[in-house]
Amino acid sequence: MDNPGGRTVEIPSMRSDSANSQASGRVVLAATILGSSMAFLDGTVVNVALPALQNAFHASLADVQWVVEAYALLLAALLLVGGSLGDIFGRRKIYICGVVVFAAASAWCGLAQDIHMLIWARSLQGFGAALLVPGSLALITASFPPSTRGQAIGTWSGFSAITSAIGPVIGGWLIEHSTWRWVFFLNLPLALAVILLSARVPESRNVEISRRVDWLGALLVTLGLGGITYGLIELPSRALPNPRMIAAAIILGVLLLVAFVAVEYYSRAPMVSLTLFRSRNFTGANLLTLFLYAALGGLMFFFPMDLIQIQHYTATQAGAAFLPFVAIMFGLSRWAGGLVAHYGSRLPLTVGPLVAAGGIALFAIVPQNGSYWAAFFPPIVVMGLGMVISVAPLTTTVMNAVPDSESGLGSGVNNAVSRLAALLAVAAFGAVLATVFNHALDQHLSQLTMSPDVRAQVDAARPQLAAAHNPAPAVQYAITESFLSGYRSVIWIASALAVLSSLTAWLLIEPGRPSSADGVSS
């Protein structure tokens, strides 16, 4: 294998024999697809379960945001550590450790007795995901030569997408006919299969990398992101004990992230080598990832709420709503994996996000009270086409822009950026939706005549947004319309972010076809 970084990497000897190479490649793909699907699946299944969690625990929007954000925070902050640990101690070993932690945390989630216990269990689940997610792409990169790597990544993307989206259908059925707890118990048989398959995956590591782990950097980035996330989630609350505390949390979070960058710059063994960003393609692709996945993450969080709480879909129907998206990703991902070889990176990474932006915008334009085929199917199809054009070329561009010896770190950075995007989007979009909701609800209620007791009941239920119920039809109508006002605001912001990601690709991604040795020097 070409090694632009000039370092040696332990490469499996399977490549000396074509038959063994194909067999081992299939095992690697099976193990990485199932493992990464567990982490991706939780991002989609849990969103479908949020209305059920609100009802089960009488939870506010902030509570269910933390159910998602606790997982996303640890995942985004520690993905870089997970990638580095794989490079140091062995990608297969760390990958299996991540699967074990993730499975144990999933069992804890399923057994949680209150919303706070669930949030802590989700945090541990995020830690496990931070170990296994970067390992999946790193194992593929170490096991496939550049000539077939794009197609392998495309296959991984397609199958991961289909397993991630079939999960919500199964999860929705379980929520509807049994309990939301099975959403988390679903991970246990998957984890067992991944462990058994991974035992047959060849080990690989970076033999020259420093064996020190940057725990200070990990602490700074976790606390920094945690401070910003806390501030954004709690900002819309009308019962703040001290608003200055919220502002201080956000400011402190920003300062800690600045300190993280400084530590990484001067550290002898940084969690992320800032020299990777000398590659224009690497920098541009990660900035594109930030904008595009912020748009997708924000939409995916609030869309199930709209379907279940406003459109009155069942959990199964809500889980099945994105099946056309899955079909597109599955059917076209392998083809999309070869786009970079034919057209270079810039064209698909400019066109794809632009098409996705159009699909997202359709969610705000189509009538909310129409049938699924008229209201939701068209935007889902258009957005799916845009994402399938974007995802595999984006991943291939990132992995081709780093040396093979730092593939774990490169995939860790890109995955961290995508998770960071969703983390910040859910927090920021939640603040936008809650603010617009409260403003719109005030306007609607000002036109109604109600007793002080009824008004107090409505105000007490505000944190639940669309989950709030009132026996008065006029009040319930006001709640529904107020949520839709906030929801549409979020969608327009998401669409604008997708357009921005397209513009980023056009301005920063280098034109032309990448060479097989594309990478940054170290």
Question: For residue 209, what pLDDT is reported?
Answer: 62
Is it the case that residue 290 has pLDDT exceeding 90? Answer: yes
Lowest mean pLDDT among 9-18, 47-56, 162-171, 481-490: 9-18
Quick: pLDDT tens for 122-174. 999 999 988 888 788 778 877 777 777 777 877 787 777 667 667 788 888 88
Is it the case that residue 241 has pLDDT exceeding 70? Answer: no
Do residues 144 and 99 both lie within one domain?
Answer: yes
Do residues 317 and 439 both lie within one domain?
Answer: yes
pTM of the model: 0.80
Rounded CA-CA distance 108/91 in Å is 26
Question: For residue 18, what pLDDT is reported?
Answer: 47
Of the pLDDT bands very low, low, confident and very high (cuts 50, 70, 90), residue 8 is: very low
SS3 of 36-97: HHHHHHHHHHHHHHHHHHHHHHCCCHHHHHHHHHHHHHHHHHHHHHHHHHHHHHCHHHHHHH
Residue at 516 is within a domain: no
| Alpha-carbon radius of gyration of the chain | 23
Question: For residue 512, what pLDDT is reported?
Answer: 64
Residue at 5 is within a domain: no
Rounded CA-CA distance 201/203 in Å is 6
pLDDT, average across residues 461-482: 82
Give the up-direction half-sphere exposure of residue 61: CA atoms within 13 A in the CB hemisphere: 33
Of the pLDDT bands very low, low, confident and very high (cuts 50, 70, 90), residue 208 is: low
- Write down the residue that tokens 């939870």 correspond to: 59
Do residues 395 and 259 both lie within one domain?
Answer: no
Quick: pLDDT tens for 27-41. 888 888 888 888 877
Do residues 83 and 169 both lie within one domain?
Answer: yes
Is it the case that residue 5 has pLDDT exceeding 60? Answer: no
Question: For residue 489, what pLDDT is reported?
Answer: 95
- Write down the residue that tokens 């985004």 correspond to: 76
pLDDT, average across residues 182-189: 88
CATH number, domain of 98, equals 1.20.1250.20
Residue whose C-alpha is closest to residue 355's, from 377, 385, 331: 385
Last residue of a domain, one of 245, 270, 295: 270
Do residues 458 and 318 both lie within one domain?
Answer: yes
Domain that holds residue 149: 21-213+271-508
Residue whose C-alpha is closest to residue 167's, from 325, 41, 49: 41
Rounded CA-CA distance 440/450 in Å is 17
Report which residue type is found at 21.
S
- Write down the residue that tokens 């780093």 correspond to: 402
Cβ–Cβ under 8 Å, residues 277 and 508: no
Do residues 38 and 138 both lie within one domain?
Answer: yes
Domains in the chain: how many in total?
2
